[in-house]
Amino acid sequence: MAEEEQQDANGGVLTRGDAEGVTPQGTAKDSLSVTDNRTGEQYEVEITDGTVKAMDFRQMKVDEDDFGLMAYDPAFTNTAHCRSDITYIDGEAGVLEYRGYPIAQLCEESTYLEVANLLIYGELPTQEQLDEWIFEITHHTFVHENIKKFVEGFRYDAHPMGMLLATVGALSTFYPDAINIDDQTERHMAGVRMIAKMPTLAAFAYRHNLGLPYIYPDNDLGYPGNFLSMMYKMTETRYEPDPRLERALDVLWILHADHEQNCSTAAVRSVGSSQVDPYSAVAAGVAALYGPLHGGANEQVLRMLERIETTDNIPDFLEGVKNREEKLMGFGHRVYKNYDPRAEIIKKHVDEVFEVTGKNPKLDIAVELEKRALDDDYFAERKLYPNVDFYSGLIYEALQLPKDMFTVMFAIPRTSGWVAQWLEMTQDEETKIARPRQVYSGARERDYQQVANREQKVDPPTGAGATTVIDPAAGGDPAGVGAV
Evaluated on CA atoms 167, 225, 367, 91, the torsion sign reads positive
From 163, 178, 181, 321, residue interacting with ligand ACO (rule: CB under 6 A): 321
Burial class (CB in 10 A: 0-12, 13-18, 19+), 252: buried
Residue 333: active-site member:
yes
Q: Are 277 and 179 in contact (CB under 8 A)?
A: yes
Q: How far is the CB of 78 from ligand ACO (least distance, A)?
A: 11
Question: Among residues 333, 340, 349, 404, which one is catalytic?
Answer: 333
Asked if 327 is part of the footprint of ligand ACO (rule: CB under 6 A), the reply reads yes
Q: How far is the CB of 53 from ligand ACO (least distance, A)?
A: 24
- Range in contact with ligand ACO (rule: CB under 6 A) among 20-28, 95-103, 332-340, 465-473: 332-340
Give the DSSP letter of residue 324: T
Q: How far is the CB of 431 from ligand ACO (least distance, A)?
A: 25
Q: How far is the CB of 339 from ligand ACO (least distance, A)?
A: 13
The smaller minimum CB distance to ligand ACO, of residues 118 and 328, is found at 328
Reported as half-sphere exposure (CB side, CA atoms, 13 A), residue 13 has a value of 11
Q: How far apart are CA 54 and CA 14, in angstroms?
A: 11
Q: Torsion angle, CA of 100/102/105/107, rounded to 10 degrees?
A: 100
Q: How far is the CB of 278 from ligand ACO (least distance, A)?
A: 22
Q: How far apart are CA 153 and CA 21, in angstroms?
A: 69
- Range in contact with ligand ACO (rule: CB under 6 A) among 92-100, 164-172, 322-330, 355-363: 322-330
Asked if 329 is part of the footprint of ligand ACO (rule: CB under 6 A), the reply reads yes
Residue type, 396: Y
Asked if 328 is part of the footprint of ligand ACO (rule: CB under 6 A), the reply reads yes
C-alpha of 263 from chain center: 5
Other Cβ atoms less than 10 A from the Cβ of 372: the count is 15
Q: How far is the CB of 226 from ligand ACO (least distance, A)?
A: 25
Residue 389: active-site member:
yes
Q: Are 39 and 48 in contact (CB under 8 A)?
A: no
Residue 294: active-site member:
yes
Asked if 382 is part of the footprint of ligand ACO (rule: CB under 6 A), the reply reads yes
- Range in contact with ligand ACO (rule: CB under 6 A) among 10-18, 33-41, 217-225, 328-336: 328-336
Please name the residues in contact with 41: beta carbons below 8 A apart, sequence gap of 6 or more.
16, 35, 60
Asked if 98 is part of the footprint of ligand ACO (rule: CB under 6 A), the reply reads no
The smaller minimum CB distance to ligand ACO, of residues 247 and 327, is found at 327
Q: How far is the CB of 256 from ligand ACO (least distance, A)?
A: 8
Q: How far apart are CA 419 and CA 403, in angstroms?
A: 26
Asked if 83 is part of the footprint of ligand ACO (rule: CB under 6 A), the reply reads no
From 330, 393, 413, 417, residue interacting with ligand ACO (rule: CB under 6 A): 330
The smaller minimum CB distance to ligand ACO, of residues 34 and 86, is found at 86
Burial class (CB in 10 A: 0-12, 13-18, 19+), 49: exposed
Question: Among residues 56, 258, 340, 389, which one is catalytic?
Answer: 389
How do beta strands 13-17 and 3-7 pair? Answer: antiparallel
Please name the residues in contact with 409: beta carbons below 8 A apart, sequence gap of 6 or more.
202, 252, 298, 392, 396, 401
Closest residue to ligand ACO using C-beta atoms: 332
Q: How far apart are CA 448 and CA 42, in angstroms?
A: 44
Print the binding letters for residues 384-423 with ligand ACO: x by CB under 6 A, - otherwise. x--xxx----------------------------------
Question: Among residues 36, 294, 376, 428, which one is catalytic?
Answer: 294
Sheet holding 95-98, edge to edge: 87-90, 95-98, 101-102
Which residues contact ligand ACO (rule: CB under 6 A)? 293-295, 297, 321, 327-334, 382, 384, 387-389
Catalytic residues: 294, 333, 389
